């Protein structure tokens, strides 16, 4: 059974990372159950393994932490729900691509609880929202903004790190980086989309939709079909 924990207040990044790595090791050794931690961080930037120095455009704005997760730069801060997901893929399905797709579709299902249509884009991990209210792109395509980021790491096939959903963060804080290395698209949040959604609302949606993609002992990236995706 997956153990859910809500961490109150703002969780210091370095301490939380150390605790998460310790929990992942305990899961790998069979000494602890799988876990999902729901939390907020103080304002900061994190750099994944593919981060480029040029994408940190304002290095003195907030603390910057190097992480072992996949991906590039992202922002964490108040008003953003971070979910750290520690799953034993040896027991479920040892397939990174399948796991990431399950994470993306889990977020999409949670957003759908608020009538928000999240979408996946080939080559751009995370969840995107079409913005017909914004000017079209230079190529004539519809504008779209990122509402959720995903970055994971696996050690002994146990996952850690996870995802972040923008509920009501200060979107201006993303301007100190090129989020996830993508310059052509913006970022948004549930409140920016005009929805009076709280962190507690998002937590309830995440918990309600989780079993669809992570049934006990399994992994169903499309909410019913098993891997491969």
Q: Give the chain's domains with CATH numbers.
A: 3-212 (3.30.930.10)
- Is residue 180 predicted with pLDDT exceeding 80? no
Which class for 16: exposed (0-12), middle (13-18), buried (19 or more C-beta within 10 A)? middle
Question: Which carries the bigger pLDDT value, residue 113 or residue 175?
Answer: 113
Enumerate residues 6+ apart whose C-beta is below 8 A from 13: 41, 42, 44, 46, 63, 65, 76
180 assigned to active site: yes
What phi, psi does 196 have (nearest 5°)?
-80, 65
- Is residue 137 predicted with pLDDT exceeding 90? no
Pairing of strands 73-76, 144-155: unpaired
**Contact 149/163 with Cβ under 8 angstroms?**
yes
Q: Which of the residue ranges 112-121, 151-160, 172-181, 201-210 would you say has the lowest mean pLDDT?
A: 172-181
- Is residue 141 predicted with pLDDT exceeding 90? no
Q: Which of the residue ranges 10-19, 146-155, 160-169, 220-229 would you say has the lowest mean pLDDT?
A: 220-229
Distance CA 14, CA 176 (A): 20
Q: What is the pLDDT of residues 102-118, one digit of tens each?
A: 999 999 999 999 999 99
The catalytically annotated residue of 167, 180, 187, 202 is 180
Q: What is the pLDDT of residues 67-87, one digit of tens each?
A: 988 788 999 999 999 999 999
pTM, rounded to two decimals: 0.93
What phi, psi does 200 have (nearest 5°)?
-65, -35
Structure confidence at residue 18 (pLDDT) = 97
Cα dihedral 168→170→173→175 (10° resolution):
90
Residues constituting the chain:
229
- Is residue 181 predicted with pLDDT exceeding 50? no
Kindly state the average pLDDT of the residues 29-39.
98
Structure confidence at residue 151 (pLDDT) = 92
């Amino acid at each position: 059974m997956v153990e859910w924990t809500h961490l109150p207040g703002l969780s210091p990044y370095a301490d939380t990372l150390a605790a998460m790595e310790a929990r992942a090791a305990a899961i790998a050794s069979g000494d602890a159950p799988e876990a999902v931690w729901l939390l907020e961080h103080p304002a900061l930037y994190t750099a994944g393994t593919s981060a480029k120095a040029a994408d940190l455009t304002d290095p003195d704005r907030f603390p910057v932490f190097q992480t072992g997760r996949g991906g590039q730069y992202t922002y964490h801060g108040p008003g953003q729900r971070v979910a750290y997901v520690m799953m034993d893929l040896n027991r479920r399905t040892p397939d990174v691509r399948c796991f990431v797709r399950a994470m993306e579709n889990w977020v999409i299902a949670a957003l759908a609880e608020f009538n928000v249509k999240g979408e996946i884009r080939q080559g751009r991990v995370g969840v995107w929202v079409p913005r017909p209210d914004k000017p079209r792109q230079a190529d004539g395509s519809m504008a779209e903004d990122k509402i959720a980021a995903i970055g994971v790491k696996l050690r002994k096939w146990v996952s850690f790190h996870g995802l972040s959903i923008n509920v009501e963060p200060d979107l201006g804080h993303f301007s100190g980086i090129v989020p996830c290395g993508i310059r052509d698209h913006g970022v948004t949040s549930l409140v920016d989309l005009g929805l009076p959604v709280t962190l507690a609302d998002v937590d309830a949606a995440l918990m309600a939709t989780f079993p669809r993609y992570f049934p006990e002992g399994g992994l169903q990236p499309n909410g019913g079909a098993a891997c491969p995706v």
